[in-house]
Amino acid sequence: MQISIQKRSVEDLKTKPEFNSNLGFGKFFTDHMFIMDYRNNKWINPRIVPHGVLSLDPSAMCFHYGQEIFEGMKVFRGTDESVIFFRSMDNFRRMNNSAARMEMPEVDIDVVTEGLRELVKLDKSWIPNQKGYSLYIRPTMIATEGVLGVRPSDEYMFFIIACPVASFFPEQQGKLKPVKIFVSTQYVRAAPGGTGSAKVAGNYAASLKAQVQARKFNCQQVMWLDGIEHRYVEEVGTMNIFAVFNDTLVTSPLTGTILPGITRDSVMVLAKHLGIEVVERRFTIEELLSGMKDKTVSEVFGSGTAAIISPVSSMIYKEQSHVVGNGETGPVAEKIYNALLDIQYGQAEDPFGWTTVLK
Ligand code: COI
């Protein structure tokens, strides 16, 4: 499919923000975006246009029944000024899995990869050139048919927008600074048979109530327990969760209620590569807290595209605070973080084939 490109004129280019800690996360968007439409059972009209408002009928189905999926991936600036995509194909593959769960059409990975490439090429000057900063990419699909029937839409829009970002947690600003998490005992993120393993907007909307509660306890993220027994640790806010139990890195298995994080997978692969034993198994909040108490759990950290690796310093559970280790970043999180960033920024060899350099 031929991608048409409508560039902004030089006078119309946006003023770029400074690439420093004020950049924050997801506040400034590049000059262009990629869009394509779905009509009569096929994707049509792939195009790059100036980033701007979308015009949608208020009856568009995405507004009423939440048929919306998205992805989060990053593009990095290597030290030699190269432009490095990190596992973008894996993100598009996951997006197609989310589409299948939501009765939405899959995208052709070659077409969206080409759209992404062209977009990044055009907006290349928006990629920050310091470690800890990157260009965050948000592919999104929405149901656009204007009808109030509860059924899968016949029409969709797919778009990719991009924004230069600093740390996801304002407290971190390019450093591996631990965050505090709030264990929700009242709300659940996902239940068996639900949409927990898909990246759908509704999962995040449903999490906001607990996130506001977490903020009251000065916590940045919510730890989610399973939806049946409210005991098994599943995820942390926008991240998958890892704990170091007696030198073994443990993470919850992908049982259908957990988002299959691309960073989660990268962490497991890197940990094994670094000689750390990795086990996917269910563990309860009681097991985690008692391990923290008797020091058999030395570290807890989350992983995600936006959050990268975020060590956890303490947890609030049933209004009690529990400290992880000595409350500082642990050696396992640090090692994996450095190994991951070195690959992402092209400072270390990538033996896993995760990176693609823009030609
Ligand atoms: C990501 O890590 O990329 C996410 O999508 C999480 C969040 C920013 C919603």
pLDDT mean over 103-122: 98
The pTM score is 0.96
For residue 74, the ligand 1 atom closest to its alpha carbon is: 3
Residues of the chain with CATH 3.30.470.10: 4-166
Residues of the chain with CATH 3.20.10.10: 172-344
Q: In this predicted model, what pLDDT tens digit does every residue of 136-194 receive, in sequence order?
A: 999 999 999 999 999 999 999 999 999 999 988 777 666 788 999 999 999 999 999 99
Q: In this predicted model, what pLDDT tens digit does every residue of 49-77 receive, in sequence order?
A: 999 999 999 999 999 999 999 999 999 99
The torsion angles phi and psi of 112, rounded to 5 degrees, stand at -70, -30
Distance CA 153, CA 144 (A): 7
Q: Which of 74, 90, 238, 303 to mutate to test the pocket of ligand 1 (most atoms within 8 A of CB)?
A: 238
167: Cβ below 6 Å to ligand 1? Answer: no
Tokens of 84: 């490095």
How far is ligand 1, taken at its centre, from the CA of residue 40, in Å?
Answer: 31
Is the distance from CB of 222 to CB of 211 less than 8 angstroms? yes
Dihedral class, residue 114 (left if φ above 0, else alpha if ψ from -120 to 50, else beta): alpha
What is the β-pairing status of strands 179-183 and 308-317? Answer: parallel
For residue 73, the ligand 1 atom closest to its alpha carbon is: 3
Q: Name the residue at shortest CA distance from atom 8 of ligand 1.
A: 306
Is the distance from CB of 84 to CB of 75 less than 8 angstroms? yes
**Measuring CA to CA, which residue among 4, 35, 86, 69 is closest to residue 306?**
86
pLDDT mean over 242-251: 97
The class level of CATH for 172-344 reads alpha beta
Domain at 4-166, CATH from 3.30.470.10, 3.40.50.300, 3.40.50.620, 3.40.50.20: 3.30.470.10
Distance CA 75, CA 287 (A): 38
How far is ligand 1, taken at its centre, from the CA of residue 72, in Å?
Answer: 5
The torsion angles phi and psi of 336, rounded to 5 degrees, stand at -70, -40
Distance CA 321, CA 239 (A): 21
259: Cβ below 6 Å to ligand 1? Answer: no
95: Cβ below 6 Å to ligand 1? Answer: no
First to last CA, the chain: 20
